[in-house]
Structure 1
Amino acid sequence: MIQKVAKVCMVPDILDQSDAQSFYLSGSDLAWQLCGSHNEGLLAASECARQLSYLRIKTNKLLFVDAQSGFGNPLNTYFTVKEFEHHGADVILINDQQFPSQTKHPQIASIYSFAGRVKAAIDAHNQQNSSIWVKLDGYSHYQLDGLQKRLIIAEKLGVTGALLNSVPAEEINKLKVNLKLGILNFETKNYPAQVKYFFE
């Protein structure tokens, strides 16, 4: 059965959606609250971590957190994951964009840069405290073949899940992957069988 993941930004969002099974702190939404812009690249990792700690106090449910493109190079990614774990993240999402991440006009990183940041995230995290997922924003850029390649790399590096952003259902059905899958900005209610999480 598919689980719905509710977007949250401030503590009242958690209180208003107390029936949700899990929550997602989106960089885009937090940037809107703090900066008046949906450009997630305006945020620092410390701002996201601070907000995460407030949310964690109010819920013990599964909490997904947008770590964007790791806030820099692999070393930045390593310490970002450590910081987010310390502040209560259950699932930390690393995207496939260049730094800084952009919500509306993403610039997709090379597959080598993406792999380097994912490896740093895996090395940093404690398996008892958190999981590392990838957030794939570049489907329109690299299409199905590139999507499959990134999922294979992520799985080999030790990632446990992937959030697919704006990927059509018919393409998801063609994927060959053993990762847990979530979907974001999905246009139909006919969810592919292998999808476990729907991010509202």
Structure 2
Amino acid sequence: MRWSRRREAFRAIFAGDRCVHPGSVFDPLSVRIAEELGFEAGMFAGSVASLTVLGAPDLIVLTLSEFAEQAYRINRAGELPLMVDADHGYGNALNVTRTVEELETAGVAGLSIEDTALPQPFGAAGRTQLISVEEGAGKMRAALAGRRDPKLMIFGRTSAASVTDADDAARRSAAYEAAGVDAIFLVGVKTKAQLETVRAAVKLPLMIGGAGPEIMDLDYLSGMGVRICLQSHAPFMAAVQAVYDTLKALREGTAPKDLQGVAPPELMKRLTRDADYKARMEDWLG
């Protein structure tokens, strides 16, 4: 597979001067849809992975192998650069190195390692805690040590803005920049004051998730050095609702021909590459 080409395209976003919204994807068909609609990159979140693979909430019960396998399925299906949320790296710094190795092999264009204490320790249920800055910086160095393709982007991720304060987020971001990561991924930044505090502390390009409405303006974000801004993971939730509504309608007696919101055959054939498969069958199978 041509991983380097998509990694180059992903890096070009961060070398540019505009912020973009990635498409939240979770399987081969969803990434093909995002690619067809013109998204510059796809985003595969750990929370969505847990829902997709296990039908479980985002409590770090998904394993690295399960996450990497689904990321590979997504990457195999198209050419869209894929950013993934690798959570805490599935363990300590040694595990982080292994996580990077596996996800690089799975074809991702970028991945983030966060400084949240995960899985939640005994006695801390429901309370988000952060590891020390020193441990976080060690994890970033471990992530970089696991990288073989220099085109793969490593992000230092912190939720400190919503857990402690913006000053702590700035301090942690600066430490991860010093460790050598390619970009900073900020989660939970709600105000311009918070974003500007972090921006003053680091020179690296930024990615943000869980942003507040005050800063959700692409011109403003672009000027602040933000190059990717998430828009939630609504596509997966919409897919769940559509399946629920369709099954409910069928259970209640609606005829299949009367169902609403069903993908037409033309769309399904296009997304499944039906014409390509038929051509191969004629060529190879007679």
Is the pair's TM-score, using the shorter chain for normalization, greater than 0.5?
Answer: yes
Q: TM-score, normalised by structure 1?
A: 0.92
1:167 is matched with 189
For residue 36 of structure 1, report the CA deviation from its aligned partner: 2.1
- The corresponding residue for 2:129 is 107
Q: Which runs of 5+ in 1 are unaligned?
A: none
Contact 1:69–1:101 under 8 Å retained in 2: no
* C-alpha displacement of 1:101: 6.5
Per-residue deviation at 1:40?
4.4
Match 2:170 to one of 148, 162, 166? 148
Determine which structure has more spread, i.e. the larger CA radius of gyration: 2
| Alpha-carbon distance in structure 1 between the residues aligned to 2:129 and 2:55 | 22
Residue 186 of structure 1: which of 211, 216, 234 is its match? 211
Cα distance, 1:76 vs structure 2: 0.6
Q: Which has the higher strand share?
A: 1
Q: C-alpha displacement at 1:119, in angstroms?
A: 1.1
Q: 2:20·2:40 contact (CA, 8 Å) conserved in 1?
A: yes
In structure 2, what is the equivalent of residue 7 of structure 1?
A: 24
Instruction: Indicate the structure with greater helix content.
Output: 2
Aligned twin of 1:139: 161
Structural mapping, 1:20-169, within 5 Å: 20-100=39-119, 105-168=127-190, 169=192
For 1:151 and 1:141, locate their aligned partners in 2 and report how far apart those are by CA, in whole Å.
14
Report sequence identity in percent: 24
> Measured at CA, do residues 80 and 72 of structure 1 come closer, stay the same or move farther in structure 2, by a change above 3 Å?
same
1:94 counterpart letter in structure 2: I
- 1:61-119 CA deviation, whole Å, 9 max, x = no partner? 221111110100111111110111011011110011113279x7532112122111111
For residues 20 and 101 of structure 1, the distance between their equivalents in structure 2, rounded to whole angstroms, comes to 34
Mapped to 1, the partners of 2:68 and 2:75 lie a distance apart of 10
2:227 is aligned to 196
Segments of 5+ residues of structure 2 without an aligned counterpart are 1-17, 232-286
- Counterpart CA distance in 2 for 1:26 and 1:141 is 20
Q: Distance in 2 between matches of 1:73 and 1:145?
A: 25
1:60–1:16 distance in 2 versus 1, CA, 3 Å: closer
RMSD: 1.8
